[in-house]
């Protein structure tokens, strides 16, 4: 069983696309964390990954986790074993913490870990996203960000803003340090696109969320 650890963000979606070139991914595994600050898993708008799975026509299974540091890996391990996963695709780009733990987990169960974006050049990935994907920022949690980023599309203008944040504050442009999270509305593998009908922002002066209240699948233009 070839599966993808899928959060609905730019990295897991792009990794899924690249890893599907040789052999299709059969299952999306999504971890629903109770912890807003999980070390391993995204939480913002995770429920709407169901629309993404439907748009791609790939089976999805959602597993709950308390999101406790290290212990949350046991929940992922259970999901992998229960579904007889032999290959696991992840969107890891630079986080040694995340990749090393998934490497260990996969090694223990004879699973091949596929990380097509590992050590990718941030600007190259962002350019590919700008050209072929429609992705928005859904969470910010680092110095330099403000609420204007929430719900903003990852396009050429965003890339320039991220360059400045990287230069001034050392922000990882792909958000691998937990600086932000994203959500994909359209991608090459999507047969339909996601249309947000209603959403709102939550901002406390440092951490901000773009919360999708209502979304539907729409025909591609």
Which residues contact residue 82 at a Cβ distance below 8 angstroms, ignoring those fewer than 6 apart?
none
What is the domain range of residue 214? 122-218
Q: Which of 114, 135, 168 finishes a domain? A: 114
Please report how the helices 122-132 and 156-169 are oriented relative to each other, as an axis angle in degrees rounded to 10: 160
User: For position 40, what pLDDT does the model report?
Assistant: 55
What's the domain count of the chain? 2
Residues 159 and 194 in one domain: yes
Residues 169 and 185 in one domain: yes
φ, ψ for residue 157, nearest 5 deg: -65, -40
Report DSSP state, residue 206: S
Residues 175 and 92 in one domain: no
What's the rounded Cα separation, in Å, for the pair 77 and 169? 35
The pLDDT tens digits along the chain (221 residues) read 999 999 999 999 999 999 998 889 999 999 887 666 555 556 678 899 999 999 999 999 998 876 566 677 888 899 999 999 999 999 988 878 788 889 998 999 999 999 999 999 999 999 999 999 999 999 999 899 999 999 999 999 999 999 999 999 999 999 987 789 999 999 999 999 999 999 999 999 889 999 999 999 999 87
Q: Which of 114, 140, 157 finishes a domain? A: 114
- Whichever domain contains 42, its CATH number is 3.40.50.620
What's the rounded Cα separation, in Å, for the pair 212 and 221? 22
108-140: string of b/e by CB count within 10 Å (b at 16+)?
A: eeebebbbbbeebebeebbeebbeebbbbbbbb
Q: How many Cβ atoms are within 10 Å of 147's Cβ, its own excluded?
A: 16
User: For position 73, what pLDDT does the model report?
Assistant: 83
- Whichever domain contains 159, its CATH number is 3.90.1490.10
What's the rounded Cα separation, in Å, for the pair 193 and 187? 8
Residues 110 and 141 in one domain: no
User: For position 43, what pLDDT does the model report?
Assistant: 63
Token pair of 7 as six digits? 């959060």
Residues 67 and 129 in one domain: no
């Amino acid at each position: 069983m070839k599966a993808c650890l899928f959060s609905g963000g730019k990295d897991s979606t792009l990794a899924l696309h690249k890893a599907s070139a040789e052999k299709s991914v059969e299952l999306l595994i999504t971890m629903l964390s109770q912890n807003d600050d999980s070390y391993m898993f995204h939480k913002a708008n995770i429920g709407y990954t169901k629309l993404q799975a439907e748009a791609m026509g790939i089976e999805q299974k959602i597993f709950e986790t308390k999101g406790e540091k290290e212990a949350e890996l046991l929940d992922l391990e259970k999901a992998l074993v229960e579904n007889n996963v032999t290959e696991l695709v992840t969107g890891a780009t630079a986080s040694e913490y995340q990749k090393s733990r998934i490497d260990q987990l996969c090694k223990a169960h004879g699973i091949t870990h596929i990380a097509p974006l590992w050590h990718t050049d941030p600007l190259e990935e962002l350019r590919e996203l700008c050209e072929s994907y429609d992705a928005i920022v859904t969470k910010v949690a680092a110095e330099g960000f403000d609420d204007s980023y929430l719900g903003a599309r990852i396009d050429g203008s965003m890339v320039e803003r991220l360059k400045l944040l990287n230069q001034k504050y050392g922000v990882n442009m792909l958000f691998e340090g937990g600086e932000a999270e994203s959500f994909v509305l359209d991608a090459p593998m999507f047969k339909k696109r996601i249309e947000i009908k209603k959403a709102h922002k939550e901002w406390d002066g440092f951490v901000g969320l773009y919360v999708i209240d209502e979304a539907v699948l729409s025909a591609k233009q």
